[in-house]
Amino acid sequence: MMQKNIIVAVSIPAEQEFLQELLIAKGYCVTIVDDGKEVEAKSKQLEPHIILIDTVLPGLNGFQVIRLISHDEQTKHIPIILIGAGELANEKWGVRQGAAAVVTRPLDAQDLLEKIALLGNAGSNAGLMEYLQMAEQRLAYYIGPLAKILVNKAAQQTSSEVQLYQMLASNIPDENDQKEFLASLEKFAHQK
């Protein structure tokens, strides 16, 4: 089996050491880079399987490097994982620039390894699809309890099921989705 190469582009020495030890222990060949311009050059030279990149780097920042790599014909196929500090706006910006995934500090080794494994298999769409399904499941896990809370709160403010359904539907931005939601609730009510 061919050893997979990963470029780790972070400028914090303790984080470099942590990531290098973690990834080598899992069988990856790791190249540490601490300058944004060097990341772009190494991505062409080494053609790694994955790039882990911090938002803050000397030379070019992580966002600039992501944009350059993801728009270059030679390197656009390389999945990039952005290492962020948990600011949602920065994470969204990283994904818009071309990052395939985001991990936040403090780094969770298991989460990072899962993303690397899934994105490393994205050469076949199966790996990417598996990653998207996992993300969808996690989102559903968090949204389910939140939806129950919102429905209970709305139920306290209404006097009938019809009012409750209309109140909930009014918060759905798309009119067709509102109609579909109400129709599904009506169908459910008839099945009771």
pLDDT in tens, 97-135: 888 888 888 899 999 998 898 887 654 444 455 556 556
Domain tally, the chain: 2
Peptide bond into 173 cis (omega under 30): no
- pLDDT tens for each residue of 15-34: 999 999 999 999 999 999 99
Lowest mean pLDDT among 40-44, 86-90, 112-116, 141-145: 141-145
When the pLDDT of each residue in the chain is averaged and rounded to a whole number, the result is 81
Task: Please report, for the domain that includes residue 44, its CATH number.
Answer: 3.40.50.2300
| 131 occurs within a structural domain | no
Higher-confidence residue of 47 and 158: namely 47
- pLDDT tens for each residue of 26-71: 999 999 999 999 999 999 999 899 999 999 999 899 999 999 998 9
Domain boundary among 123, 146, 164: 123
Residue 164 and residue 106 share a domain: no
Residue 98 confidence (pLDDT): 87
Neighbours of 127 (CB within 10 A): 16
**H, E, C per residue of the chain:** CCCCEEEEECCCHHHHHHHHHHHHHCCCEEEEECCHHHHHHHHHHHCCCEEEEECCCCCCCHHHHHHHHHHCCCCCCCCEEEEECCCHHHHHHHHHHCCCEEEECCCCHHHHHHHHHHHHCCCCHHHHHHHHHHHHHHHHHHHHHHHHHHHHHHHHHCCCHHHHHHHHHCCCCCHHHHHHHHHHHHHHHHHC
Residue 126 confidence (pLDDT): 46
At 5, is the pLDDT very low, low, confident or very high (cuts 50, 70, 90)? Answer: very high
Residue 106 and residue 154 share a domain: no
147: containing domain: 136-191
| 128 occurs within a structural domain | no
Crossing angle of the two packed helices 109-120 and 13-25, in degrees rounded to 10: 60
Residue 155 and residue 97 share a domain: no
At 162, is the pLDDT very low, low, confident or very high (cuts 50, 70, 90)? Answer: confident
Residue 185 and residue 157 share a domain: yes
| 48 occurs within a structural domain | yes
Top-confidence range, 67-81, 116-130, 142-156, 175-189:
67-81
Residue 136 confidence (pLDDT): 61
